[in-house]
Amino acid sequence: MMKPCKRVFAALALLALAAPGWTQPVVDDAPVLRLECGGIGLEESERMRAEIGMHALTVFFSTTAGGWVTDVETRVDEPLSGQRVEASCGPIGQVDVPAPGRYRISASYAGARQEHWVDLVPQGGARLSLRWQE
């Protein structure tokens, strides 16, 4: 039979071994839906173009005459999970997705709205060009 002092010591030893697990922070590495906007200036534009394969989707915003546009109200939705991200984008937007799926891209510029459904995979390198009349 174990003496009370030894039982207390054994219990404290078990608690001490378990304590590091209690004090470690919980890290949430779950991937999220993300939209990065930019592409203004040659250096940033070249960097974003070079990174196309690192993102699920790269969106180019321009006019039908070929000029780049900025301040495009852009939203990306994944209806099944309810995830959504939005930002003012242009001339380039890059989308990262947490999982393969069908995503809705909505963009409004100068009062005209476009909506596109695209099948995306993480780091899939897809491209979408959105054009507006001048």
Domain-by-domain residue ranges, the chain?
A: 34-132
Cβ proximity of 93 and 58 under 8 Å: yes
Reported in sequence order, the residue ranges of the chain that DSSP labels E, i.e. its strands, are: 34-38, 57-63, 72-78, 83-89, 92-96, 101-109, 112-120, 126-132
Judge whether residue 6 has pLDDT over 80. no
Tens digit of each residue's pLDDT (9 = 90 or more) over 17-47 = 444 444 455 445 667 899 999 999 999 999 9
Q: How many helices (H) and strands (E) does the chain have?
A: 2, 8
SS3 call for 99: coil
Task: Please give the class, per CATH, of domain 34-132.
Answer: mainly beta
Report residue 59's pLDDT band, with 50, 70 and 90 as the boundaries: very high
Judge whether residue 113 has pLDDT over 80. yes
Strands 126-132 and 101-109: unpaired
Return d(Cα 103, Cα 119) in angstroms, integer.
6
Q: Name the pTM for this structure.
A: 0.76
DSSP state for residue 52 in the 8-state scheme: G
The residues facing 117 across adjacent strands are 104
* Rg value, the chain, Cα: 24
User: Comparing 27-31, 48-52, 91-95, 98-102, which segment has the lowest mean pLDDT?
Assistant: 27-31
Element (H, E) at 131: strand 126-132
